[in-house]
Amino acid sequence: MRLIIEKDYKNVSKWTANYIAQAIIKSEPTREKPFVLGLPTGSTPIGTYKELVRLYKHGVISFENIITFNMDEYIGIPQNHPQSYFTFMRENLFSLVDIKKENINIPNGSADDLEAECLAYEEKIKAAGGIDLFLGGIGSDGHIAFNEPGSSLKSRTRIKTLTQDTIIANSRNFGHDLTKVPKTALTVGIQTIMDAKEVIVVVNGYKKALALKNTVEGNVNHMWTCSILQMHPHAIIVSDEEATVEMKIGTVKYFKEIEAGNINPATQLYI
């Protein structure tokens, strides 16, 4: 696992977007061999999306040959609901870049047969050749996508019941009215994320400090599902200083030193 510690949220977003841009450019995607990108929602990746849009507008990257798979979607609200993840992605990324509509994949939380939808989603990822890079965020309780504490570390795309903590956290987008927050969601599983060739997770702010500590310093444990990243051969966590406050000083120093001595860090900033 690489832990990149940047001074603030802006730099976390910049680093992450440039890393993703570099991965896309390196893979030289074509129509026949597209780059497959896994994507999250939440407030954390918004800065990264802004930077990706900037990179697109400056002609550094194109989304023409990129296929995307989103991590999750609420059940019980229509796609065009202002708080659906479908709407979030359209507003924060898809309407702002040259991605083809047919290359966008988001689990359909309004499908008649939700179980069939989950199976089909996994099949679609497989048919696309697997995910090259999965971008993610972490909930305060350590969930990744909607894999809440206690989720099987071998799980795949399925229906999940949200915890009260997550419902409360996400109620900020529903006028703080808990009754308006969907109680269930479709989510890729932990194993779906682990199958990606690379995983990059963005973390910021004091409220994520305990989750980051458990991700980096804790044991691999289903109560902090993000800790599974320790088992991924190519996982990167990009954090701001604030989110590191629960970790040991020695741990923070250790990862900073490794990155300072990294002869090939992915810190090339295109713009």
**Please, what is the angle between helix 46-57 and helix 9-27, to 10°?**
50
Nearer to ligand GLP, 13 or 18 (CB): 13
Site for ligand GLP in 45-74 (CB under 6 A): 71-72
Residue 56 · residue 173 · CB < 8 Å: no
In whole angstroms, give the CA distance from residue 147 to residue 145.
6
CB of 226 to ligand GLP, least distance (A): 9
Task: Reply yes or no on whether 141 is catalytic.
Answer: yes
Query: Binding ligand GLP by CB under 6 A: which of 29, 34, 42, 182?
Result: 42
Whether 123 is catalytic is: no
Smallest gap, in angstroms, from Cβ of residue 245 to ligand GLP?
16
Phi-psi region of 28 (alpha: psi -120 to 50; beta: other; left: phi over 0): left
**For residue 68, what are the β-bridge partners?**
37, 104
Q: Quick one: which of 157, 144, 145 has its CA closest to 226?
A: 144
34 belongs to the binding site for ligand GLP (CB under 6 A):
no
192 is a site residue for ligand GLP (CB under 6 A): no
Q: Which of 51, 148, 198, 240 is catalytic?
A: 148
Choosing from 72, 195, 198, 240, which is the catalytic residue?
Answer: 72
Q: Say whether residue 138 binds ligand GLP (CB under 6 A).
A: yes
For the question of residue 177 being annotated catalytic, the response is no
Question: Residue 144 forms beta bridges with which residues?
Answer: 147
**Alpha helix stretches (DSSP H) within the chain:** 9-27, 46-57, 85-92, 114-127, 164-170, 190-194, 209-216, 249-260
Name the residues that contact ligand GLP, by CB under 6 A: 40-44, 71-72, 137-139, 145-146, 166, 170
Annotated active-site positions, please?
Answer: 72, 141, 143, 148
